[in-house]
Structure 1
Amino acid sequence: MKNTLRQMINDDIGFEDLTTNALISPGIKARSEIISRQSGIIAGVDVAKVIFKDFNLKCSSNKEDGDIISKGESILNISGSARSILTLERTVLNLMMKMSGIATLTSKMVEKARSVNENVKIAGTRKTTPGLQFFEKSAIKFGGGDTHRFRLDDCILIKDNHIALLGDLSLAIKKARKNVSFTKKIEVEVENLEDALLAANMGVDIVMLDNMPPNKVKLVITALKENNLRDKIIIEVSGGITPDNLLDYAATGVDVISMGFITHSAPSMDLSLEILH
């Protein structure tokens, strides 16, 4: 993570922070704090501390990742080189704002879904920003959601394009079971009842109902129950799920609702860094 963060800083600085170096003498010290301009779930606190400490700044936190914050609350106190504080300001804020926005939206989606399905999990997807996957997925966790796969090596997920190339769902499942360790779960993405029953009968761990409307999801769950398969698998729904239709999906009784929305459409939280003297 440190290398990624250092690269972010270097990309922002270029050769130097021209304005700060022209105006602020090297020996000047300063104290500053990061405050919230709106309420929500804070995230990125530990990331910010890593950055500041890597530049020899003292940093203490008043809030921890996943805490509920109100408008005007102090989150971090930073002291040390004024030049370093000003140079790092924007990159730190951008990361914290993005992560806090994702955490806040995730928390709202979890609360909403569990109002009709108390055991359902809200999960992320792989619709993340390249290079920022770790930070965006971590933010989901801080918001009370499930990260789903962090990387491609976390579990088997057989998708439509895999099946298109092999030409057969059952063959895909057999090959996955043969070529991958038993320690890895197998998930299959399906778009119809027939494939859902096939995957469940073949003993996969998770069946993802992809781009399936809530009424069809209910039909699949009913069929799985009738075949004594429902309790043997995890049922996930994904594809086109937003705050507007979330309750409809949660009410079907699924186990997991994965939403790209919580990463690609989360508004950033408004945060600010203020110099105290």
Structure 2
Amino acid sequence: MSAWFAEDTPSFDYGGFVVGDAPRTATLFQKSAGVVAGVPIVNEIFRQCDCTVTWHVKEGELIDPKASGGKVAAATVSGPTRQLLLGERVALNMLSRCSGIATASRKMLTLVREAGYTGTLAGTRKTTPGFRLVEKYGMLVGGIDQHRMDLSSMIMLKDNHIWARGSITDAVKAARAVGGFSLKIEVEVDSEAGADEAIEAGADIVMLDNYDGEGLKVAARSLRERWKGKKSFLLECSGGLTPSNVKEYVNNDIDIISTSAVHQGCPHVDFSMKIDH
């Protein structure tokens, strides 16, 4: 968080000098519909600016400002004027992005549940460098799984790992040697033959990558039937899920659906802050 302030004020806050340190209050408005996400982070941003925040909405609450004339007073912020404005843009940028991800996550979760899916919906590691914690937190508030937080959280062997090592079996063997019993191993495959090799080698999770809806259903059902009672594993699918194809895409032979659609390119929720006068 200190890096955010350093980026925004690398030397001197000229506007802050203009307004001075007189105590004031400001209202933080939500101006577009969405799930509120990022409350603890906003609190900490303004705490570091010697300001206090009083919230009028709750974390995870879906707010639609249309019913309130186009904007909702989400919070009141109090403190020295210069400090209020120092934290304003840092807080608003974070809150807008985090809330946008929570909103997209909630929407996608609702769609897959309505389509009858009972498994886990997860985000991905395709996050913004330096901003991952906020984006993963938005997924959590939106009700979905954050997937692995980083390269140290789980051993995921993707196509480049397999090609570099030479085979799925050798890659899983090496992964087990370095990760021991405490880390799960996931292997990305693009065929049933690859999935069979990964399961036989001892992978905990097999990711069926970039299948279309019908192909995914056929492959997942085939693997379940072939390995029933022989090996324990989870099936994940990734790539291709959109709000428009949910009904054709989801099926309950898949334990986890992961998608970057909930955090890459999703609309932000619009917030602003105005000094009370």
TM-score (norm 1): 0.92
Aligned-residue identity in percent = 33
Structure-1 residue corresponding to 2:240: 240
Mapping of 1:163-242 within 5 angstroms?
163-229=162-228, 232-242=232-242
Which residue of 2 is the match for residue 272 of structure 1? Answer: 272
| Structure 1 counterpart of 2:14, from 10, 13, 18 | 18
Give the C-alpha shift of residue 252 in structure 1: 5.8
For the structure 1 residues 94 and 145, does the alpha-carbon distance in structure 2 shift closer, same or farther, using more than 3 Å as the test?
same
Aligned residue for 1:14, secondary structure, equals coil
Give the structure 2 partner of residue 259 of structure 1.
259
Q: Deviations over 1:235-277 (max 9, x none)?
A: 1111233222233221364221111121111111011112223
Aligned residue for 2:112? 113
Q: Which position in structure 2 is the counterpart of 1:92?
A: 91
CA distance in 2, matches of 1:199, 1:227: 14
- For 2:44, the equivalent position in structure 1 comes to 50
C-alpha deviation, 1:185, in angstroms: 0.8
AA at the equivalent of 2:11: F
Distance in 2 between the 1:110 and 1:232 partners? 26
Secondary structure of the corresponding residue to residue 90 of structure 1:
helix
Q: CA RMSD in A?
A: 1.7
Equivalenced residue count is 271
Deviation string, structure 1 residues 173-210 (Cα, Å, up to 9, x no partner): 11111221211111110000111122223332111111
Report the AA paired with residue 273 of structure 2.
L
Distance 1:202 1:229, change over 3 A: farther
CA separation in 2, counterparts of 1:203 and 1:219?
22
1:100-132 Cα deviation digits (max 9, x unpaired): 000000000000011123412221111110000
TM-score of the superposed pair, with normalisation by structure 2: 0.92
Structure 1, gaps ≥5 residues long: none
2:68 paired residue number: none
2:62 maps to which residue? 68
Conserved 8 A contact 1:214-1:252:
no
1:107-161 C-alpha deviation (Å, 9 max, x unpaired): 0000001112341222111111000011101100100111001111001101100
Report the AA paired with residue 141 of structure 2: F
| Aligned mates of 1:82, 1:25 — CA distance in 2 | 6
1:45 and 1:63 in contact (8 A); partners too = no
Q: Deviations over 1:69-109 (max 9, x none)?
A: 23133322210101111122111100000000000000000
* Cα pair 1:196 1:220 within 8 Å, conserved: no
Taking the aligned partners of 1:16 and 1:144, their CA distance within structure 2 comes to 40
- By how many angstroms is 1:30 displaced? 0.7
Which amino acid in 2 is paired with 1:25? G
